[in-house]
Amino acid sequence: MAQDECDVVIVGAGPTGLALAVGLRLYGVRVRLLEKQDSGKREARAGIVWHRAMEVLADLGCAERFVEEGVALDSTELFVQGRTVGVLDLTASGTRWPNPLSIEQDAVERLLAERLREVGGAIEWSTEATAVRVAEDAAEVEVRHADGPPQTLRCAWVVGCEGSHSLVRKAAGLPFDGGPRRHLQVAQINAKVDWRLPYHGDRTYLLLDKDLSLGCAPRPGGGYRCFAFTREPDSTPLTPVTVEEMRQLLMRASHDSGVWLTPTLPEWTNRARFQDRFARSLRSGRALLAGDSAHLWAPIGGRGLNTGLRGAHNLAWKLASVVRGWAPPELLDTYSTEQRRTALRVMRRTRRDVLESPGTRRVLLMMRLVGRHVLGTRWAADRIRGRLADLDLDHRGSPLSAHGGGDRMPDQQVWADGRRQSLHALLAYQHWTLLSVGERPPPAPALASCPLPVTVRAVSPTHASRHLPDHCLVLVRPDLHIALQTRRPEEVTAYLERWCTRTGAAPGQ
C-alpha cells in the first residue's frame, strides 16, 4: 500500500473545502484535496453569496470572477397576503462589495477550482477517504481511487469538509448534536414565471401567506429559483416536486390566479426537510471540521454556503500559521470557538426568519401593519440589511479579541501613503496589519522578532471612526477582524508574544 505525506488533507471538495485549500495554498501549505465524486457529477443548484462572503472571495483572489458570472441583487420586495408591504434596499456600505450575488453553486465550485489551480493546488477526483486515524503527532487517511491501488496519506492535519455524514467527524469522535426541524419542508424549482409581478433581474420577491413563505430569486441566464416553505406533518412523504404543485403555491402566495411556470434548462426541482445540527467541537487533536461537517441547517438563501466560506476563511490562516510554525496549535481552538458561535447565531436567525417560519393570520396581520414602517425606517432597514449581509457578525469574547477587538473592520476611506484610498485595499489575507492611526509610532522591536507576518501601515481616517480612534494602534487579523485597539505599544508586543512561537520560520521563508 503506497504512502504519501503532506501538511493537510482536506476531505470534500465542495465550496468550503475548495476555499480552505485556496487559503492554505496562499500561505504555501502542502494540501491534498480529496473528492469521492468524479468531475462530471456536480449539481446545478443556485445560491446567494452575501456581502461578507464576497470579502472572503476577494481575499482568496477571485471575487471579480464571481461578479462576472453572477447576478447582482439590489433589493427585495415583500408581499403579505398578496399586498405589497415595502422594498428593502440590499446595497450595503462599509464594504467594497455592496451587493449580494445570485450564482449557481456549480459556478461557485468551478471558479474556486480555477483559483486553486492558479495557486498550485488541484482536486483529486474519484478519490474516496475510507478511514481516518488521528494520533498525537500526525493523522493518516486511507483512500480508494477509481483506478489504482489503495493509498495511505500521512499528514500533519486532516480537515473534514465532506458534509453531514462526515467520516472525519466520526473518526475524531465528535458528537453531532441536534435533530430534525419539525413540521417544515421546502419545495423548489428553477423556472420562468409569468404572473402579475414584473421581472427585475436585480430584485428578489418574498411572498407570505398563512402557513406559506415563498421566495423568488433571479438566476444567471434568466428565470427564478422559486422556493416555498410550508408547514407539513413530518409523516408527509417527500414526493417529487411537480410544476403544477409549484404553480399552485405561487398562485396562493401571490393571490394571482393567472400564474404560469416554464421550467428552465436543465430542469431542477427539489423537496427537502432539514436538520439543525452542530458538532460539539470543531477540533479534536489534529482533526478539524468545516462546512456541513461542522454545522447543518436549512440551506435556503445561501446561509450554509456563506457560513462555510467564512469558516474556511477563519481556519485557513490559522492552520497555515500553525503548520509554518508561526503560532502554537492552541490557535486552532479559537477557530472552533469563533466558528461555532458564529454558526449558532446564523442558525438562530434563520429559525426566526419569516421565510423559514410560515406565519399564522395574526402574525401576517401584524406584518402588514408594521412591516411598511419597519422597512421605511432607516435604522431598522440598516439592521436587517446588516444581518442579511453578515457584516455584523463579530468575534467579541474570543480569546483572540483583546481590548476593543472582535469586530470586523469595515471598509472606509483613509489617507495613506500620501493619498486617499480604501482601507481594505491596504489589508491582505496573507498577513496581519498594524494600523498606526494619527502617526503614533508602532512597537517596531516586537515586530522584528515576531514570526507572524505583520505589516505596518500609517493611516488617517477621512472621518471620525470608532474602529480607527485617533492616536491609536489597531491590530487587524488576516480575516479583517480587529485583534485589539490600544494607545500602548507594549500591549501590542504582549499580544503578539502571546500568539506567536519563537521557533517558526520567518514570513516568506
Q: How far apart are the first and last CA of the chain?
A: 34
Q: List helix spans (H) across 303-393.
A: 303-323, 331-352, 361-376, 378-389
> What is the distance between the alpha carbons of residues 155 and 158, in angstroms, rounded to a whole number?
7
CA dihedral 239, 244, 250, 253 (to 10 degrees): -70
Predicted confidence at residue 3, as pLDDT, reads 60
> Is the pLDDT at 113 greater than 70, yes or no?
yes
Record the pTM.
Answer: 0.95
What is the average per-residue pLDDT within 9-20? 98
> For the chain, what percent of residues have pLDDT higher than 90?
79
> Is the pLDDT at 130 greater than 70, yes or no?
yes
The owner of cell 434596499 is: 89
What is the average per-residue pLDDT within 334-342? 98
> What is the distance between the alpha carbons of residues 210 and 233, in angstroms, rounded to a whole number?
16
Give the pLDDT confidence of 40-59 residue by residue, as tens digits. Answer: 656 656 689 999 999 999 99
> Is the pLDDT at 274 greater than 90, yes or no?
no
What is the average per-residue pLDDT within 153-177? 97
What is the average per-residue pLDDT within 84-111? 96
> Is the pLDDT at 438 greater than 90, yes or no?
no
Give the pLDDT confidence of 345-364 residue by residue, as tens digits. Answer: 998 888 777 666 777 788 88
> For the chain, what percent of residues have pLDDT higher than 70?
94
Residues ≥6 apart with Cβ < 8 Å to 69? 103, 107, 111, 220
Domains of the chain: 2-71+101-177+276-352 (3.50.50.60), 413-499 (3.40.30.120)
Poorest-pLDDT segment among 199-213, 268-282, 494-508: 494-508
Predicted confidence at residue 348, as pLDDT, reads 86
Predicted confidence at residue 136, as pLDDT, reads 95
> What is the distance between the alpha carbons of residues 287 and 285, in angstroms, rounded to a whole number?
6
Give the pLDDT confidence of 198-230 residue by residue, as tens digits. Answer: 999 999 999 999 999 999 999 998 999 999 999
From residue 431, give the alpha-carbon distance in Å to each of 67, 393, 400. Answer: 25, 21, 15
Q: How confident is the model at residue 441 (pLDDT cuts 50, 70, 90)?
A: low
> Is the pLDDT at 267 greater than 50, yes or no?
yes
Predicted confidence at residue 183, as pLDDT, reads 85
Predicted confidence at residue 509, as pLDDT, reads 43
What is the average per-residue pLDDT within 6-14? 98
381 CB-contact burial (10 Å; exposed 0-12 / middle 13-18 / buried 19+): middle
DSSP assigned state of 384: H
> Is the pLDDT at 507 greater than 90, yes or no?
no
> What is the distance between the alpha carbons of residues 139 and 370, in angstroms, rounded to a whole number?
56
> What is the distance between the alpha carbons of residues 409 and 503, in angstroms, rounded to a whole number?
30
Give the pLDDT confidence of 389-398 residue by residue, as tens digits. Answer: 999 999 999 9
Give the pLDDT confidence of 57-94 residue by residue, as tens digits. Answer: 999 999 999 999 999 999 999 999 999 999 999 999 99
**Beta bridge partners of residue 484, listed in sequence order:** 475
What is the average per-residue pLDDT within 416-442? 91
Which position has the higher pLDDT, 267 or 315?
315
> Is the pLDDT at 506 greater than 50, yes or no?
no
Residues ≥6 apart with Cβ < 8 Å to 373? none
